[in-house]
C-alpha cells in the first residue's frame, strides 16, 4: 500500500489536540519502551539523540525526564508538533518526511514510538540509522504488528501492511545491528459502541490510512452491524466492542 504522507500529516495535525487525551495505548507503549531503554542502555547520559515521529511528545518528554541529553533532534512530518514543546535550547527540529531527510551523524540513540509503521521503506531507515549511530549506539523503537486494528481491516479492508517480528529481525540483522530485545504483545481497548471506536481512531489520527474510504449512512450502519462479531457481554450484561493494538518493541545496538 502506498502511503500518502501529506494525508498522514493532515490527519495527525487535525488530531493534534485530541491525540494526547485519546492515545491511551500509545502512551502505555511509550512507558514500556522507556523501561526497556532504561534496562538496556548503559548510561542515562547521552550526547546526541534523534526521535523519529515525535508527535505530541509522549516519548520525547519521557526521554527528557529520564535521560541527560545534550542535543535532541525531533522529527515529524508537520511543523504544528512544535506547539507541544516549550522552548528548550537542547531541542532541534527535523521537520519533514524521515525517508527524505539526512540524519544528523554521531548519534548515541535513535528512538521512535508508534511511528515506523508509516514508513514505506523501513530498510532505508535502518540503513541510515546504522550509518548515523556511533559505535555501540542504540536504535530503540516500538511499531505495530499484523494484528493491529485487525477489526477495522476485517470490516473495511483499510489498513497498513505491517511487518512480522521475523521480518523486522532479518532487516535489522542485514544492516549489522545486534538485537538485544525484540518482543510483541496484544492490547485490547473496549468501547460502548462501534461509533466510539471510529471516534477514537479519528481522535488519534489513525484514520490516515482511509484515503479512499468515504462513509455513507448505509455503510456506517452496516459497519455498526458487522462490528457485533467483535463484541462481547460483560458480567452485568453490558456489550463491549473491542479494538486490538499489536505493539512490537525493539532494542538494537550498532556493532563496532
Cell numbers of 187, please? 492490547
- Using left for φ > 0, alpha for ψ between -120 and 50, and beta otherwise, residue 159 falls in left
The three-class DSSP label of residue 216 is: coil
Domains in the chain (CATH in brackets) are 5-148+160-188+245-254 (3.40.50.150), 190-241 (no CATH)
C-alpha cell at position 253: 545496538
Q: Find the mean pLDDT for residues 222-235.
A: 94
- A 10 A CB-CB count for 220 gives 13
Distance CA 116, CA 237 (A): 39
At 157 the pLDDT is 86
| DSSP strands (E only) in 96-236 | 107-113, 133-144, 177-184, 187-191, 231-233
Nearest to 77 by CA among 106, 42, 118: 118
pLDDT of 91-144, one tens digit each?
999 999 999 999 999 999 999 999 999 999 999 999 999 999 999 999 999 999
Sign (positive/negative) of CA torsion 242, 120, 125, 85? Answer: negative
Amino acid at each position: 500500500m502506498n502511503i500518502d504522507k501529506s494525508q498522514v500529516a493532515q490527519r495527525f495535525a487535525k488530531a493534534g489536540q485530541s491525540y494526547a487525551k485519546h492515545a491511551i495505548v500509545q502512551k502505555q507503549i511509550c512507558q514500556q519502551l522507556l523501561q526497556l531503554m532504561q534496562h538496556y542502555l548503559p548510561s542515562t547520559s547521552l550526547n546526541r539523540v534523534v526521535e523519529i515521529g515525535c508527535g505530541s511528545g509522549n516519548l520525547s518528554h519521557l526521554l527528557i525526564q529520564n535521560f541527560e541529553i545534550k542535543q535532541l533532534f525531533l522529527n515529524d512530518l508537520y511543523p504544528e508538533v512544535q506547539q507541544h514543546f516549550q522552548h528548550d535550547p537542547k531541542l532541534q527540529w527535523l521537520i519533514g518526511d524521515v525517508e527524505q531527510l539526512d540524519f544528523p551523524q554521531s548519534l548515541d540513540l535513535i528512538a521512535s514510538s508508534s511511528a515506523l509503521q508509516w514508513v514505506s521503506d523501513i530498510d532505508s531507515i535502518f540503513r541510515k540509522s546504522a550509518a548515523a549511530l556511533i559505535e555501540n549506539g542504540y536504535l530503540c523503537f516500538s511499531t505495530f504488528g499484523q494484528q493491529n486494528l485487525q477489526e477495522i481491516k476485517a470490516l473495511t479492508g483499510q489498513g497498513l501492511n505491517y511487518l512480522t517480528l521475523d521480518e523486522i529481525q532479518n532487516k535489522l540483522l542485514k544492516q549489522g545491528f545486534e538485537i538485544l530485545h525484540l518482543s510483541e504483545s496484544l492490547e485490547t481497548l473496549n468501547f460502548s459502541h462501534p461509533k466510539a471506536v471510529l471516534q477514537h481512531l479519528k481522535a488519534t489520527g489513525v484514520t490516515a490510512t482511509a484515503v479512499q474510504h468515504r462513509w455513507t449512512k448505509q455503510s456506517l450502519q452496516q459497519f455498526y452491524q458487522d462490528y457485533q462479531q467483535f463484541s462481547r457481554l460483560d458480567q452485568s450484561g453490558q456489550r463491549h466492542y473491542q479494538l486490538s493494538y499489536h505493539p512490537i518493541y525493539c532494542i538494537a545496538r550498532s556493532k563496532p
